[in-house]
Chains A and B, each alone.
Chain A
């Protein structure tokens, strides 16, 4: 069903409201001056409020760099980034604090924000239930499986009342079955809570399964090669053949991008 694939090479729709994330000709170099590597070169993209956007690209294309810049952990060398609302970043590893229980991990951002104790406790219980980990609050991270850790990490991000969720290959290290189920879970949370997600992955099927829009990036320096709208209804089914068609298209595009590097 190739009609499902809609290609937009430039974002020209006038924004109705301020976009959740706006990246304007941003450049970023890494490494010492002289031998630095250009990770991003004048890249521009925007994510609308409530939109689920996936960035795909081959490894080393600067996907993570983009998230680090949007999250504010790093500063761009040139260009402008504006983010509307509270941002949370989910790492590839769950990055939970090993000395805290699952509940205490979720509670920490609220403690740091000065939320009163009773409210914190109540919210932790709600969040644990939201990610289906009620009863696991007193476990330490090492007593949980990889998928459960990522869900605690997700709950911890939501504890900040994040409006923009940045996800950096959060399911990359999980097995296929767990990943499939977590796709359903993230999609459901996103539909219910209505936050904006910018999701980075190298897995095209994952991107197509989750995103409203899939942005294909070139490598070194990263540039937007193509944007693909995925107009399939939600909640989606990972086994939907239409998804496979869209994924096929993206993979072809990504392959030719990778091949271009061989000819350099």
Chain B
């Protein structure tokens, strides 16, 4: 076999690099700060709009101010509450429950998901069952949970898990289902078999859908948790949901609204900062995100 001399090779090199330069997608990346700002300002605008609308309703005199206080009053109350001891304790209790419940849901959801992915017969039976579980409003589980576990934290965790685990399992299952066949075949050709195939091909390929499942699971878990606390499932121990209930009983509208703000902020932070940024960073890496968004 002959070797190509370097004279023949030089123009080919130039052809290739010239073509590469022309063909490269233009990725005009904006700075991190400007991307963050593009993400934040619509949210700030929405917040300002909501607060403005709230204030207008208060000014209209539709309800007396001891029932519907204005945003400024509530924010002042919120600052006082944060400085106090009851709200921080309540937040810690609720977040601990959320973490434990979501953690268990994650574990159980993954086990169910992997089982369904692995066993074909199980899939047909279980996938409709899992969807069925998801359509069930989580609050409807509480009476049964209280009968089963009494007025205890287990009852809440039970409902939180029932709310979140199906979403997590579903995310995993659809993630694995949607892996392009060609990637699995490419993996096999490159020597990925058995556990290595899972580790290097199946799991990373299923990741975007899995993260969507986590996000949805979190939304269900958070709703179930607040609902459970609100129902007074664990009466006496202060928690965010319990504070809401207590404020209503005491006709403490300021306290009620300030607690609601706390719920809103926690929901937004976890959803947006934790799962949202995870989701976005995966999509950006995969090139699934439009530039600038």
Chain A residues at the B interface, C-beta cutoff of 8 Å: 50, 71, 73, 87-89, 91, 93, 95-100, 108-109, 111-113, 132-133, 136, 140-148, 156, 160, 177-178, 181, 184-185, 188, 191-192, 194, 234-235
With contacts A91-B182, A93-B182, A142-B25 taken as known, whether A99 is within 8 angstroms of B20 at the C-beta atoms is no
**Minimal Cβ-Cβ distance residue in B for A50:** B1
Q: B20 to chain A: closest CB distance in Å? A: 6
Q: A154 to chain B: closest CB distance in Å? A: 12
With contacts A108-B200, A142-B286 taken as known, whether A73 is within 8 angstroms of B185 at the C-beta atoms is yes
In the bound complex, what is the Cα–Cα distance between A109 and B15 (angstroms)? 29
CB–CB B189/A147 < 8 A: no
CB–CB B15/A181 < 8 A: yes
CB–CB B1/A97 < 8 A: no
Tell me, yes or no, whether B27 is within 8 Å of chain A by CB. yes
In the bound complex, what is the Cα–Cα distance between A132 and B286 (angstroms)? 23
Which residues from chain A contact B169 at a C-beta distance below 8 Å?
A: none
CB–CB B15/A184 < 8 A: yes
Which residues from chain B contact A111 at a C-beta distance below 8 Å?
A: 200
CB–CB B19/A192 < 8 A: no
CB–CB B207/A99 < 8 A: yes
Tell me, yes or no, whether B16 is within 8 Å of chain A by CB. yes
Further pairs besides A89-B186, A185-B16, A188-B9: 6, Cβ < 8 Å: A97-B204, A108-B190, A143-B287, A148-B20, A181-B16, A234-B2
CB–CB A95/B185 < 8 A: yes
CB–CB A156/B190 < 8 A: yes
CB–CB A97/B19 < 8 A: no
- A145, A147, A156, A160 pick with most chain B CB within 10 angstroms: A145
**Minimal Cβ-Cβ distance residue in A for B193:** A112
From B15, B16, B19, B186, A95 is in contact (CB under 8 Å) with B186
In the bound complex, what is the Cα–Cα distance between A132 and B10 (angstroms)? 12
Instruction: List B179-202 residues whose CB lies under 8 Å from chain A.
Output: 182-183, 185-192, 196, 200-201
Residues of B within 8 A of A (CB-CB), count: 37
In the bound complex, what is the Cα–Cα distance between A145 and B4 (angstroms)? 27
In the bound complex, what is the Cα–Cα distance between A185 and B12 (angstroms)? 8
With contacts A191-B1, A191-B4 taken as known, whether A91 is within 8 angstroms of B186 at the C-beta atoms is yes
From A99, A113, A177, A191, B286 is in contact (CB under 8 Å) with A99
- A99, A109, A145, A192 pick with most chain B CB within 10 angstroms: A99
CB–CB B190/A109 < 8 A: yes
CB–CB B207/A178 < 8 A: no
In the bound complex, what is the Cα–Cα distance between A181 and B20 (angstroms)? 11
CB–CB B190/A132 < 8 A: no
Q: A176 to chain B: closest CB distance in Å? A: 12
With contacts A97-B201, A97-B204, A99-B286 taken as known, whether A192 is within 8 angstroms of B3 at the C-beta atoms is yes
Q: A109 to chain B: closest CB distance in Å? A: 4
CB–CB B13/A132 < 8 A: yes
- A88, A160, A181 pick with most chain B CB within 10 angstroms: A181
CB–CB A235/B4 < 8 A: yes
In the bound complex, what is the Cα–Cα distance between A39 and B3 (angstroms)? 39
Please list 10 pairs of residues, one from A and one from B, whose beta carbons are closer than 8 Å in the complex, sorted by A's number: A73-B189, A140-B285, A142-B286, A143-B25, A147-B19, A177-B19, A181-B15, A185-B16, A192-B3, A194-B1
